[in-house]
Structure 1
Amino acid sequence: MQSATTDTEGPAADPEIENAGESPPEWQVPTVLRPIARLVLWAWRTLLGSIGTFGRLVLLATDSFYGLFRDIVKMNHPWKETLTQAWFMMSVSGWPAILISVPLGAIIEIQVGSLASQVGATSQAGAMGGIGVIQQAAPMISGILMGGAVGAAVAADLGARKIREEIDAIRTLGINPNHRLIAPRLAAMFIVGPLMCILVVFVGLSTIYTMTLLQGGVPGAFFNSFAAFASTTDLIIAVVKTVIFGLLVVLVAGQRGFEASGGPKGVADCVNATVVLGVMTTFAANVLITQLLSIWFPMKLGF
Protein backbone atom coordinates (compact mmCIF):
# COMPACT_ATOMS: atom_id res chain seq x y z
CA MET A 1 0.00 0.00 0.00
CA GLN A 2 2.76 2.42 0.83
CA SER A 3 4.66 1.67 -2.35
CA ALA A 4 1.52 2.25 -4.43
CA THR A 5 0.93 5.57 -2.80
CA THR A 6 4.52 6.58 -3.54
CA ASP A 7 4.18 5.68 -7.21
CA THR A 8 1.05 7.77 -7.69
CA GLU A 9 2.63 10.86 -6.16
CA GLY A 10 5.35 10.92 -8.80
CA PRO A 11 8.90 12.23 -8.46
CA ALA A 12 9.76 15.13 -6.18
CA ALA A 13 9.55 18.61 -7.72
CA ASP A 14 12.87 20.01 -8.97
CA PRO A 15 13.39 23.64 -7.76
CA GLU A 16 15.45 24.46 -10.85
CA ILE A 17 12.56 23.37 -13.11
CA GLU A 18 10.03 25.38 -11.08
CA ASN A 19 12.15 28.53 -11.37
CA ALA A 20 12.60 28.17 -15.12
CA GLY A 21 11.55 31.31 -16.96
CA GLU A 22 11.44 33.41 -13.78
CA SER A 23 13.86 36.02 -12.49
CA PRO A 24 16.93 34.56 -10.74
CA PRO A 25 16.25 33.90 -7.05
CA GLU A 26 17.93 36.09 -4.50
CA TRP A 27 20.30 33.34 -3.39
CA GLN A 28 22.06 33.54 -6.76
CA VAL A 29 23.06 37.19 -6.06
CA PRO A 30 26.19 37.51 -3.92
CA THR A 31 25.46 38.55 -0.39
CA VAL A 32 27.53 41.72 -0.70
CA LEU A 33 25.56 42.89 -3.75
CA ARG A 34 22.06 42.17 -2.41
CA PRO A 35 21.49 45.69 -0.92
CA ILE A 36 22.60 47.25 -4.21
CA ALA A 37 20.33 44.91 -6.17
CA ARG A 38 17.36 45.79 -3.99
CA LEU A 39 18.12 49.53 -4.41
CA VAL A 40 18.36 49.21 -8.20
CA LEU A 41 15.13 47.21 -8.32
CA TRP A 42 13.33 49.79 -6.15
CA ALA A 43 14.61 52.66 -8.30
CA TRP A 44 13.48 50.88 -11.48
CA ARG A 45 10.02 50.18 -10.14
CA THR A 46 9.71 53.77 -8.87
CA LEU A 47 10.74 55.12 -12.27
CA LEU A 48 8.21 52.97 -14.09
CA GLY A 49 5.49 53.94 -11.61
CA SER A 50 6.31 57.64 -11.98
CA ILE A 51 6.13 57.42 -15.77
CA GLY A 52 2.77 55.66 -15.54
CA THR A 53 1.42 58.24 -13.09
CA PHE A 54 2.55 61.11 -15.30
CA GLY A 55 0.96 59.47 -18.32
CA ARG A 56 -2.37 59.09 -16.53
CA LEU A 57 -2.17 62.72 -15.40
CA VAL A 58 -1.64 63.87 -19.00
CA LEU A 59 -4.61 61.80 -20.17
CA LEU A 60 -6.78 63.19 -17.37
CA ALA A 61 -5.78 66.77 -18.20
CA THR A 62 -6.37 66.31 -21.92
CA ASP A 63 -9.79 64.74 -21.47
CA SER A 64 -10.88 67.25 -18.81
CA PHE A 65 -9.90 70.33 -20.83
CA TYR A 66 -11.52 68.84 -23.92
CA GLY A 67 -14.76 68.33 -22.02
CA LEU A 68 -14.55 71.82 -20.52
CA PHE A 69 -14.12 73.64 -23.83
CA ARG A 70 -16.63 71.41 -25.62
CA ASP A 71 -19.34 72.04 -23.04
CA ILE A 72 -18.66 75.79 -23.06
CA VAL A 73 -18.92 75.94 -26.85
CA LYS A 74 -22.12 73.88 -26.81
CA MET A 75 -23.48 76.01 -23.93
CA ASN A 76 -23.86 72.87 -21.86
CA HIS A 77 -21.39 73.70 -19.10
CA PRO A 78 -22.69 73.40 -15.49
CA TRP A 79 -22.02 76.99 -14.44
CA LYS A 80 -23.90 76.56 -11.19
CA GLU A 81 -21.50 73.81 -10.13
CA THR A 82 -18.56 75.95 -11.27
CA LEU A 83 -19.66 78.93 -9.16
CA THR A 84 -20.31 76.62 -6.20
CA GLN A 85 -16.80 75.22 -6.45
CA ALA A 86 -15.31 78.70 -6.88
CA TRP A 87 -17.03 79.95 -3.74
CA PHE A 88 -15.88 76.88 -1.83
CA MET A 89 -12.27 77.36 -2.97
CA MET A 90 -12.25 81.00 -1.94
CA SER A 91 -13.86 80.21 1.41
CA VAL A 92 -11.17 77.68 2.35
CA SER A 93 -8.19 79.70 1.11
CA GLY A 94 -9.19 83.39 1.35
CA TRP A 95 -8.61 84.06 5.04
CA PRO A 96 -5.41 81.97 5.21
CA ALA A 97 -4.08 84.02 2.27
CA ILE A 98 -4.72 87.25 4.16
CA LEU A 99 -3.21 85.93 7.38
CA ILE A 100 -0.07 84.81 5.55
CA SER A 101 0.29 87.92 3.36
CA VAL A 102 0.44 90.35 6.30
CA PRO A 103 3.45 88.87 8.15
CA LEU A 104 5.17 87.97 4.88
CA GLY A 105 4.89 91.55 3.63
CA ALA A 106 6.24 92.84 6.94
CA ILE A 107 9.19 90.45 6.84
CA ILE A 108 10.03 91.39 3.25
CA GLU A 109 9.93 95.09 4.06
CA ILE A 110 12.10 94.66 7.17
CA GLN A 111 14.73 92.63 5.34
CA VAL A 112 14.78 94.76 2.19
CA GLY A 113 14.70 97.99 4.22
CA SER A 114 17.67 96.88 6.30
CA LEU A 115 19.69 96.04 3.21
CA ALA A 116 18.64 99.25 1.39
CA SER A 117 19.66 101.42 4.34
CA GLN A 118 23.15 99.91 4.27
CA VAL A 119 23.67 100.81 0.60
CA GLY A 120 21.98 104.22 0.85
CA ALA A 121 18.84 103.35 -1.10
CA THR A 122 16.24 103.79 1.60
CA SER A 123 13.79 105.49 -0.75
CA GLN A 124 13.76 102.40 -2.98
CA ALA A 125 13.14 99.86 -0.21
CA GLY A 126 9.35 99.87 -0.39
CA ALA A 127 9.26 99.54 -4.16
CA MET A 128 11.73 96.66 -4.20
CA GLY A 129 9.71 94.85 -1.55
CA GLY A 130 6.54 95.42 -3.55
CA ILE A 131 8.14 93.93 -6.65
CA GLY A 132 9.06 90.84 -4.65
CA VAL A 133 5.46 90.47 -3.53
CA ILE A 134 4.04 90.82 -7.04
CA GLN A 135 6.53 88.67 -8.91
CA GLN A 136 7.14 85.83 -6.46
CA ALA A 137 5.31 86.02 -3.14
CA ALA A 138 1.76 86.38 -4.48
CA PRO A 139 1.86 83.44 -6.95
CA MET A 140 3.71 81.19 -4.51
CA ILE A 141 1.43 81.96 -1.55
CA SER A 142 -1.61 81.36 -3.73
CA GLY A 143 -0.18 78.14 -5.15
CA ILE A 144 0.83 76.74 -1.77
CA LEU A 145 -2.54 77.57 -0.21
CA MET A 146 -4.41 76.04 -3.11
CA GLY A 147 -2.18 72.98 -2.95
CA GLY A 148 -2.72 72.61 0.79
CA ALA A 149 -6.33 73.73 1.30
CA VAL A 150 -8.08 73.46 -2.07
CA GLY A 151 -6.17 70.39 -3.23
CA ALA A 152 -6.82 68.53 0.01
CA ALA A 153 -10.54 69.34 -0.11
CA VAL A 154 -10.89 68.26 -3.75
CA ALA A 155 -8.94 65.05 -3.18
CA ALA A 156 -11.00 64.20 -0.09
CA ASP A 157 -14.26 64.77 -1.96
CA LEU A 158 -13.30 62.73 -5.02
CA GLY A 159 -11.59 60.05 -2.93
CA ALA A 160 -14.69 59.58 -0.80
CA ARG A 161 -16.80 59.34 -3.96
CA LYS A 162 -14.42 56.70 -5.32
CA ILE A 163 -14.57 54.66 -2.11
CA ARG A 164 -18.39 54.83 -2.12
CA GLU A 165 -18.30 53.69 -5.77
CA GLU A 166 -20.01 56.85 -6.96
CA ILE A 167 -17.42 57.27 -9.70
CA ASP A 168 -18.25 53.80 -11.04
CA ALA A 169 -21.95 54.63 -10.85
CA ILE A 170 -21.37 57.79 -12.90
CA ARG A 171 -19.54 55.77 -15.55
CA THR A 172 -22.37 53.21 -15.55
CA LEU A 173 -24.83 55.98 -16.37
CA GLY A 174 -22.73 56.86 -19.40
CA ILE A 175 -21.34 60.09 -17.91
CA ASN A 176 -17.65 60.90 -18.13
CA PRO A 177 -16.47 61.70 -14.57
CA ASN A 178 -13.66 63.87 -15.95
CA HIS A 179 -16.22 66.12 -17.63
CA ARG A 180 -18.68 66.03 -14.75
CA LEU A 181 -16.33 66.42 -11.76
CA ILE A 182 -12.95 67.75 -12.94
CA ALA A 183 -13.99 70.21 -15.66
CA PRO A 184 -16.16 72.42 -13.37
CA ARG A 185 -13.30 72.63 -10.88
CA LEU A 186 -10.90 73.65 -13.65
CA ALA A 187 -13.33 76.36 -14.74
CA ALA A 188 -13.65 77.51 -11.12
CA MET A 189 -9.88 77.84 -10.89
CA PHE A 190 -9.91 80.34 -13.79
CA ILE A 191 -12.08 82.49 -11.51
CA VAL A 192 -10.39 81.82 -8.17
CA GLY A 193 -6.79 82.12 -9.39
CA PRO A 194 -6.87 85.80 -10.41
CA LEU A 195 -8.93 86.75 -7.35
CA MET A 196 -6.52 84.98 -5.02
CA CYS A 197 -3.47 86.59 -6.62
CA ILE A 198 -4.95 90.09 -6.53
CA LEU A 199 -5.98 89.60 -2.89
CA VAL A 200 -2.45 88.59 -1.87
CA VAL A 201 -0.92 91.46 -3.87
CA PHE A 202 -3.25 94.01 -2.31
CA VAL A 203 -2.70 92.82 1.26
CA GLY A 204 1.06 92.44 0.78
CA LEU A 205 1.52 95.88 -0.78
CA SER A 206 -0.68 97.48 1.88
CA THR A 207 1.47 95.92 4.58
CA ILE A 208 4.69 97.07 2.92
CA TYR A 209 3.32 100.60 2.47
CA THR A 210 2.28 100.74 6.12
CA MET A 211 5.68 99.49 7.27
CA THR A 212 7.39 102.07 5.06
CA LEU A 213 5.43 104.90 6.67
CA LEU A 214 6.14 103.55 10.17
CA GLN A 215 9.85 103.57 9.36
CA GLY A 216 9.72 107.24 8.37
CA GLY A 217 9.32 106.82 4.65
CA VAL A 218 7.67 109.36 2.35
CA PRO A 219 4.52 108.27 0.43
CA GLY A 220 5.60 110.15 -2.70
CA ALA A 221 8.99 108.45 -2.81
CA PHE A 222 7.33 105.05 -2.34
CA PHE A 223 4.95 105.49 -5.26
CA ASN A 224 7.59 107.05 -7.54
CA SER A 225 10.06 104.24 -6.95
CA PHE A 226 7.33 101.63 -7.23
CA ALA A 227 6.29 103.00 -10.64
CA ALA A 228 9.93 102.85 -11.74
CA PHE A 229 10.24 99.15 -10.88
CA ALA A 230 6.76 97.70 -11.42
CA SER A 231 4.61 97.43 -14.52
CA THR A 232 1.28 96.00 -15.56
CA THR A 233 3.10 93.08 -17.16
CA ASP A 234 4.32 91.96 -13.73
CA LEU A 235 0.78 91.74 -12.40
CA ILE A 236 -0.45 89.90 -15.50
CA ILE A 237 2.40 87.40 -15.22
CA ALA A 238 1.63 86.86 -11.53
CA VAL A 239 -2.05 86.18 -12.30
CA VAL A 240 -1.18 83.75 -15.11
CA LYS A 241 1.27 81.90 -12.86
CA THR A 242 -1.35 81.62 -10.13
CA VAL A 243 -3.90 80.18 -12.56
CA ILE A 244 -1.35 77.64 -13.82
CA PHE A 245 -0.51 76.58 -10.27
CA GLY A 246 -4.20 76.21 -9.45
CA LEU A 247 -4.91 74.10 -12.54
CA LEU A 248 -2.00 71.80 -11.70
CA VAL A 249 -3.29 71.39 -8.15
CA VAL A 250 -6.80 70.52 -9.35
CA LEU A 251 -5.46 67.94 -11.82
CA VAL A 252 -3.20 66.32 -9.21
CA ALA A 253 -6.05 66.23 -6.69
CA GLY A 254 -8.40 64.75 -9.30
CA GLN A 255 -6.00 61.98 -10.23
CA ARG A 256 -5.24 61.09 -6.62
CA GLY A 257 -8.94 61.10 -5.76
CA PHE A 258 -9.92 58.89 -8.69
CA GLU A 259 -7.22 56.37 -7.77
CA ALA A 260 -8.08 56.17 -4.05
CA SER A 261 -8.63 52.67 -2.69
CA GLY A 262 -8.67 50.84 0.61
CA GLY A 263 -11.43 52.56 2.55
CA PRO A 264 -10.97 55.62 4.77
CA LYS A 265 -7.21 55.02 4.96
CA GLY A 266 -7.05 55.24 1.18
CA VAL A 267 -8.81 58.62 1.26
CA ALA A 268 -6.34 59.89 3.88
CA ASP A 269 -3.42 58.64 1.79
CA CYS A 270 -4.70 60.35 -1.36
CA VAL A 271 -5.18 63.63 0.53
CA ASN A 272 -1.64 63.43 1.91
CA ALA A 273 -0.22 62.65 -1.53
CA THR A 274 -2.18 65.53 -3.05
CA VAL A 275 -0.80 68.08 -0.60
CA VAL A 276 2.80 66.92 -1.06
CA LEU A 277 2.61 66.60 -4.85
CA GLY A 278 0.66 69.84 -5.20
CA VAL A 279 3.23 71.88 -3.31
CA MET A 280 6.17 70.20 -5.08
CA THR A 281 4.53 70.73 -8.48
CA THR A 282 3.94 74.39 -7.64
CA PHE A 283 7.60 74.95 -6.74
CA ALA A 284 8.83 73.09 -9.83
CA ALA A 285 6.49 75.02 -12.12
CA ASN A 286 7.51 78.32 -10.52
CA VAL A 287 11.20 77.63 -11.12
CA LEU A 288 10.56 76.73 -14.76
CA ILE A 289 8.27 79.70 -15.44
CA THR A 290 10.60 82.16 -13.68
CA GLN A 291 13.55 80.93 -15.72
CA LEU A 292 11.65 81.30 -18.98
CA LEU A 293 10.33 84.75 -18.03
CA SER A 294 13.82 85.95 -17.14
CA ILE A 295 14.80 85.15 -20.72
CA TRP A 296 11.72 86.52 -22.47
CA PHE A 297 10.93 89.47 -20.17
CA PRO A 298 14.12 90.71 -18.49
CA MET A 299 13.57 93.27 -15.73
CA LYS A 300 13.94 96.87 -16.89
CA LEU A 301 14.00 99.98 -14.75
CA GLY A 302 11.89 102.95 -15.69
CA PHE A 303 14.44 105.61 -14.73
Structure 2
Amino acid sequence: MAVQTEVPTADPERALHVVAKPAREIGNFFAVSLDILVQMFRPPFAWREFIDQTWFVARVAILPAILLSIPFNAFAVFLLNALLVELGAADVGGATAGVACITQIAPMVTVLVVAGAGATAMCADLGSRTIREEIDALRVMGLDPVRGLLVPRVAALTVNALLLNAITTATGLAADYAFTVYLQNVTPGAFASSLTLLVGLRESLIAIVKAVLFGLAAGLIACYKGITVGGGPQGVGNAVNETVVFSFMTLFMINVVLTAMNAQMAS
Protein backbone atom coordinates (compact mmCIF):
# COMPACT_ATOMS: atom_id res chain seq x y z
CA MET A 1 0.00 0.00 0.00
CA ALA A 2 1.56 3.31 -1.15
CA VAL A 3 1.90 5.93 1.50
CA GLN A 4 1.22 9.44 0.29
CA THR A 5 3.52 12.07 1.73
CA GLU A 6 2.36 15.62 2.00
CA VAL A 7 4.66 18.07 0.20
CA PRO A 8 5.01 21.21 2.27
CA THR A 9 3.98 24.33 0.40
CA ALA A 10 5.30 27.80 1.00
CA ASP A 11 3.10 30.07 3.05
CA PRO A 12 2.23 33.01 0.77
CA GLU A 13 1.71 35.37 3.71
CA ARG A 14 5.13 34.54 5.14
CA ALA A 15 6.79 34.97 1.75
CA LEU A 16 5.05 38.32 1.34
CA HIS A 17 6.25 39.38 4.78
CA VAL A 18 9.85 38.43 3.90
CA VAL A 19 9.67 40.56 0.75
CA ALA A 20 7.76 43.44 2.33
CA LYS A 21 10.11 44.00 5.26
CA PRO A 22 13.19 45.11 3.25
CA ALA A 23 10.92 47.06 0.89
CA ARG A 24 9.42 48.85 3.88
CA GLU A 25 12.91 49.61 5.22
CA ILE A 26 13.98 51.07 1.89
CA GLY A 27 10.82 53.17 1.72
CA ASN A 28 11.32 54.47 5.26
CA PHE A 29 14.96 55.30 4.48
CA PHE A 30 14.01 57.35 1.42
CA ALA A 31 11.25 59.10 3.39
CA VAL A 32 13.68 60.11 6.16
CA SER A 33 16.34 61.09 3.61
CA LEU A 34 13.86 63.28 1.71
CA ASP A 35 12.81 64.95 4.95
CA ILE A 36 16.47 65.66 5.82
CA LEU A 37 17.26 67.07 2.38
CA VAL A 38 14.19 69.32 2.42
CA GLN A 39 14.91 70.61 5.94
CA MET A 40 18.55 71.25 4.99
CA PHE A 41 17.53 74.19 2.80
CA ARG A 42 14.95 75.65 5.15
CA PRO A 43 15.99 78.21 7.75
CA PRO A 44 16.90 78.30 10.54
CA PHE A 45 20.00 76.12 10.28
CA ALA A 46 21.54 74.58 13.42
CA TRP A 47 24.97 76.15 12.96
CA ARG A 48 26.26 75.35 16.45
CA GLU A 49 25.47 71.66 16.10
CA PHE A 50 26.91 71.67 12.58
CA ILE A 51 30.23 73.14 13.78
CA ASP A 52 30.41 70.69 16.70
CA GLN A 53 29.75 67.70 14.44
CA THR A 54 32.17 68.92 11.77
CA TRP A 55 34.96 69.20 14.32
CA PHE A 56 34.03 65.84 15.83
CA VAL A 57 34.19 64.02 12.49
CA ALA A 58 37.39 65.81 11.49
CA ARG A 59 39.01 64.84 14.79
CA VAL A 60 38.30 61.13 14.35
CA ALA A 61 38.88 60.93 10.57
CA ILE A 62 41.87 63.07 9.55
CA LEU A 63 44.63 60.87 10.98
CA PRO A 64 43.20 57.57 9.65
CA ALA A 65 42.74 59.19 6.23
CA ILE A 66 46.39 60.26 6.09
CA LEU A 67 47.67 56.93 7.39
CA LEU A 68 45.58 54.99 4.85
CA SER A 69 46.42 57.23 1.92
CA ILE A 70 50.20 56.74 2.10
CA PRO A 71 50.39 52.91 1.84
CA PHE A 72 47.53 52.68 -0.68
CA ASN A 73 49.22 55.13 -3.05
CA ALA A 74 52.72 53.76 -2.46
CA PHE A 75 51.64 50.21 -3.27
CA ALA A 76 49.71 51.17 -6.41
CA VAL A 77 52.42 53.48 -7.75
CA PHE A 78 55.15 50.95 -7.03
CA LEU A 79 53.38 48.31 -9.14
CA LEU A 80 52.48 50.71 -11.96
CA ASN A 81 55.96 52.22 -12.15
CA ALA A 82 57.57 48.78 -12.08
CA LEU A 83 55.59 47.98 -15.23
CA LEU A 84 56.51 51.31 -16.81
CA VAL A 85 60.21 50.72 -16.12
CA GLU A 86 59.99 47.35 -17.89
CA LEU A 87 58.34 49.09 -20.87
CA GLY A 88 60.93 51.88 -20.90
CA ALA A 89 58.36 54.56 -20.08
CA ALA A 90 59.38 55.51 -16.55
CA ASP A 91 59.18 59.22 -17.42
CA VAL A 92 55.37 59.07 -17.48
CA GLY A 93 55.22 57.83 -13.89
CA GLY A 94 53.59 61.08 -12.87
CA ALA A 95 50.65 60.41 -15.20
CA THR A 96 49.92 57.03 -13.66
CA ALA A 97 50.31 58.48 -10.17
CA GLY A 98 47.89 61.30 -10.95
CA VAL A 99 45.18 59.18 -12.51
CA ALA A 100 45.44 56.50 -9.81
CA CYS A 101 45.47 58.89 -6.86
CA ILE A 102 42.96 61.52 -7.96
CA THR A 103 40.36 59.35 -9.67
CA GLN A 104 40.44 56.14 -7.59
CA ILE A 105 42.67 55.89 -4.51
CA ALA A 106 41.74 59.18 -2.82
CA PRO A 107 37.97 58.61 -3.21
CA MET A 108 38.30 55.02 -2.02
CA VAL A 109 40.26 56.06 1.07
CA THR A 110 37.56 58.67 1.70
CA VAL A 111 34.97 55.88 1.49
CA LEU A 112 36.77 53.79 4.09
CA VAL A 113 37.30 56.63 6.53
CA VAL A 114 33.88 58.26 6.12
CA ALA A 115 32.01 54.98 6.57
CA GLY A 116 34.34 53.39 9.11
CA ALA A 117 34.95 56.35 11.41
CA GLY A 118 32.56 59.24 10.84
CA ALA A 119 29.29 57.49 9.98
CA THR A 120 29.61 54.84 12.68
CA ALA A 121 30.33 57.42 15.36
CA MET A 122 27.24 59.40 14.33
CA CYS A 123 25.08 56.28 14.27
CA ALA A 124 26.25 55.26 17.75
CA ASP A 125 25.54 58.75 19.12
CA LEU A 126 22.03 58.92 17.62
CA GLY A 127 21.31 55.33 18.61
CA SER A 128 22.22 56.05 22.22
CA ARG A 129 19.92 59.08 22.19
CA THR A 130 17.13 56.97 20.71
CA ILE A 131 17.24 54.17 23.27
CA ARG A 132 17.34 56.80 26.04
CA GLU A 133 14.18 58.25 24.46
CA GLU A 134 15.81 61.66 23.94
CA ILE A 135 14.48 61.81 20.38
CA ASP A 136 10.93 61.21 21.61
CA ALA A 137 11.41 63.82 24.34
CA LEU A 138 12.36 66.40 21.69
CA ARG A 139 9.19 65.64 19.76
CA VAL A 140 7.10 65.96 22.92
CA MET A 141 8.62 69.39 23.58
CA GLY A 142 7.69 70.47 20.06
CA LEU A 143 11.27 70.40 18.70
CA ASP A 144 12.06 68.83 15.35
CA PRO A 145 14.90 66.28 15.74
CA VAL A 146 15.38 66.19 11.98
CA ARG A 147 16.24 69.89 11.84
CA GLY A 148 18.14 70.01 15.13
CA LEU A 149 20.07 66.72 15.00
CA LEU A 150 19.98 64.99 11.62
CA VAL A 151 20.45 67.90 9.20
CA PRO A 152 23.65 69.26 10.81
CA ARG A 153 25.13 65.75 11.00
CA VAL A 154 24.51 64.99 7.34
CA ALA A 155 25.89 68.41 6.35
CA ALA A 156 28.95 67.93 8.58
CA LEU A 157 29.73 64.50 7.12
CA THR A 158 29.32 65.85 3.57
CA VAL A 159 31.71 68.75 4.21
CA ASN A 160 34.22 66.47 5.92
CA ALA A 161 34.12 63.99 3.03
CA LEU A 162 34.95 66.80 0.62
CA LEU A 163 37.82 68.02 2.80
CA LEU A 164 39.09 64.50 3.44
CA ASN A 165 39.19 63.85 -0.29
CA ALA A 166 41.41 66.91 -0.73
CA ILE A 167 43.67 65.81 2.14
CA THR A 168 44.01 62.24 0.86
CA THR A 169 44.71 63.52 -2.66
CA ALA A 170 47.48 65.86 -1.48
CA THR A 171 48.96 63.19 0.81
CA GLY A 172 48.77 60.56 -1.90
CA LEU A 173 50.47 62.75 -4.51
CA ALA A 174 53.25 63.56 -2.03
CA ALA A 175 53.72 59.85 -1.31
CA ASP A 176 53.69 59.10 -5.06
CA TYR A 177 56.34 61.74 -5.64
CA ALA A 178 58.58 60.38 -2.89
CA PHE A 179 58.36 56.78 -4.06
CA THR A 180 58.67 57.61 -7.75
CA VAL A 181 61.56 60.06 -7.50
CA TYR A 182 63.61 58.68 -4.62
CA LEU A 183 63.01 54.94 -4.94
CA GLN A 184 62.47 54.43 -8.67
CA ASN A 185 64.87 57.10 -9.92
CA VAL A 186 62.42 59.16 -11.98
CA THR A 187 63.47 62.79 -12.39
CA PRO A 188 61.29 65.34 -10.58
CA GLY A 189 60.77 67.33 -13.76
CA ALA A 190 59.48 64.30 -15.68
CA PHE A 191 57.12 63.44 -12.81
CA ALA A 192 55.71 66.97 -12.64
CA SER A 193 55.36 67.42 -16.40
CA SER A 194 53.46 64.15 -16.88
CA LEU A 195 51.25 64.58 -13.82
CA THR A 196 48.44 66.23 -15.79
CA LEU A 197 48.82 64.03 -18.85
CA LEU A 198 45.80 61.84 -18.03
CA VAL A 199 44.07 63.97 -15.39
CA GLY A 200 42.34 67.25 -16.18
CA LEU A 201 39.49 69.40 -14.98
CA ARG A 202 36.83 66.78 -15.71
CA GLU A 203 38.54 64.10 -13.61
CA SER A 204 39.06 66.55 -10.76
CA LEU A 205 35.38 67.58 -10.82
CA ILE A 206 34.28 63.92 -10.88
CA ALA A 207 36.45 63.29 -7.80
CA ILE A 208 34.83 66.25 -6.00
CA VAL A 209 31.33 64.99 -6.90
CA LYS A 210 32.29 61.53 -5.63
CA ALA A 211 33.41 62.97 -2.30
CA VAL A 212 30.22 65.00 -1.86
CA LEU A 213 27.97 62.04 -2.68
CA PHE A 214 30.03 59.76 -0.42
CA GLY A 215 29.56 62.04 2.56
CA LEU A 216 25.88 62.67 1.83
CA ALA A 217 25.03 58.97 1.42
CA ALA A 218 26.99 57.90 4.51
CA GLY A 219 25.36 60.65 6.58
CA LEU A 220 21.85 59.69 5.49
CA ILE A 221 22.45 56.01 6.24
CA ALA A 222 23.99 56.75 9.65
CA CYS A 223 21.15 59.07 10.66
CA TYR A 224 18.45 56.66 9.53
CA LYS A 225 19.96 53.67 11.32
CA GLY A 226 20.56 55.79 14.42
CA ILE A 227 16.99 57.01 14.86
CA THR A 228 15.39 53.63 14.04
CA VAL A 229 17.36 51.65 16.64
CA GLY A 230 15.46 49.06 18.64
CA GLY A 231 16.41 46.45 21.19
CA GLY A 232 18.49 48.45 23.64
CA PRO A 233 22.31 48.58 23.63
CA GLN A 234 22.56 45.47 21.48
CA GLY A 235 20.42 47.19 18.88
CA VAL A 236 22.83 50.13 18.83
CA GLY A 237 25.72 47.77 18.10
CA ASN A 238 23.76 46.07 15.33
CA ALA A 239 22.86 49.48 13.83
CA VAL A 240 26.53 50.51 13.81
CA ASN A 241 27.51 47.30 12.02
CA GLU A 242 24.72 47.74 9.49
CA THR A 243 25.80 51.34 8.92
CA VAL A 244 29.30 50.18 7.96
CA VAL A 245 28.02 47.48 5.59
CA PHE A 246 25.35 49.59 3.90
CA SER A 247 27.67 52.60 3.62
CA PHE A 248 30.40 50.53 1.96
CA MET A 249 27.91 49.00 -0.47
CA THR A 250 26.35 52.35 -1.37
CA LEU A 251 29.62 54.25 -1.66
CA PHE A 252 31.28 51.61 -3.82
CA MET A 253 28.25 51.61 -6.14
CA ILE A 254 28.47 55.41 -6.40
CA ASN A 255 32.15 55.10 -7.22
CA VAL A 256 31.50 52.54 -9.95
CA VAL A 257 28.71 54.60 -11.55
CA LEU A 258 30.70 57.86 -11.57
CA THR A 259 33.84 56.12 -12.83
CA ALA A 260 31.82 54.60 -15.69
CA MET A 261 30.32 58.00 -16.49
CA ASN A 262 33.78 59.55 -16.57
CA ALA A 263 35.05 56.82 -18.89
CA GLN A 264 32.02 57.29 -21.16
CA MET A 265 32.58 61.07 -21.38
CA ALA A 266 36.26 60.55 -22.11
CA SER A 267 35.59 58.14 -25.01
With normalisation by structure 1, the TM-score equals 0.81
1:68 aligns with 2:40: yes
Aligned positions of 1:110-189 closer than 5 A: 110-189=78-157
The 1:29/1:268 distance shift into structure 2, 3 A limit, reads farther
Equivalent in the alignment of 1:50: 22
The answer as to whether partners of 1:148 and 1:275 remain within 8 angstroms in 2 is yes
Aligned-pair Cα RMSD in Å: 1.9
Q: Is the 8 A contact 2:102 2:169 kept in 1?
A: yes
1:5 aligned residue: none
Question: Structure 1: 5+ residue runs without aligned partners?
Answer: 1-27
CA distance in 2, matches of 1:115, 1:44: 54
Structure 1 residue 218, shift from structure 2 partner? 0.6
Kindly state the Cα deviation for residue 29 of structure 1 after the two structures are TM-superposed. Answer: 5.7
Aligned twin of 2:226 = 257
Structure 1 position 173, deviation (Å): 1.5
Q: Which amino acid aligns with 1:149?
A: A
Give the corresponding residue for 1:217.
186
Aligned twin of 1:30: 7
Query: For residues 125-175 of structure 1, what are the alpha-carbon distances to aligned partners after superposition, in whole Å with 9 as ceiling and x for unaligned?
Result: 232122111001111111221111111101101100110001111111122
Q: Which residue of 1 aligns with 2:205?
A: 236
Question: TM-score scaled by structure 2?
Answer: 0.92
Summarize the Cα distance change of 1:294–1:45 in structure 2 as closer, same or farther, 3 Å threshold: farther
Cα distance change, pair 46–116 in 1 and its aligned pair in 2 (3 A): farther
Indicate if the aligned counterparts of 2:159 and 2:215 stay in contact, CA closer than 8 A: no
Cα offset, 1:44, TM superposition: 5.2
Residue 93 of structure 1 aligns with which residue? 61
Paired residue total: 262
For 1:254 and 1:103, the matched residues in 2 are separated by 31
Cα deviation digits, residues 26-71 of structure 1 (max 9, x gap): xx9615xx6xx48x98875443222211111111111111111012
Residue identity in the other structure for 1:61: S
Partners of 1:113 and 1:126 within 8 A in 2: no
User: Are the structure 2 counterparts of residues 121 and 256 from structure 1 closer, same or farther at C-alpha, using a change threshold of 3 Å?
Assistant: same
> Aligned partners of 1:43, 1:148: CA distance in 2, in Å?
34
Identity %: 35
Tell me which amino acid in the other structure corresponds to 1:59: A
Please say if residues 126 and 222 of structure 1, whose CA atoms lie closer than 8 Å, have aligned partners that are also in contact. Answer: yes
Deviations 1:47-101 (A, max 9, x none): 3222211111111111111111012xxxx21212111111111111100000001
The alignment status of 1:191 with 2:159, answered yes or no, reads yes
Match of 1:286 in 2: 255
SS at match of 1:285: helix
One-letter amino acid of the structure 2 residue matched with residue 133 of structure 1:
C
Q: Tell me: CA distance 1:228–1:94, structure 2 relative to 1, closer, same or farther (3 Å).
A: same
Q: 1:156 to 1:231 in 2, by over 3 A?
A: same
Distance 2:16 2:91 in 1: 56
Question: Structure 2 CA distance, aligned partners of 1:29 and 1:77?
Answer: 64
Tell me if the contact between 1:109 and 1:126 (Cα under 8 Å) persists in the aligned partners. Answer: no
The residue aligned with 1:227 is 196
Q: Distance in 2 between matches of 1:292 and 1:93?
A: 29
Where structure 2 has 5 or more consecutive residues not aligned to the other structure, the ranges are none
Bigger radius of gyration among the two: 1
Partners of 1:63 and 1:178 within 8 A in 2: yes
| C-alpha spacing 1:103/1:43, structure 2 compared with 1 (3 Å) | farther
Distance 2:175 2:24 in 1: 45
* Partners of 2:163 and 2:260 in 1: CA distance: 25
Tell me the CA shift for residue 261 of structure 1. 1.1
Which secondary structure does the structure 2 equivalent of 1:229 belong to? coil
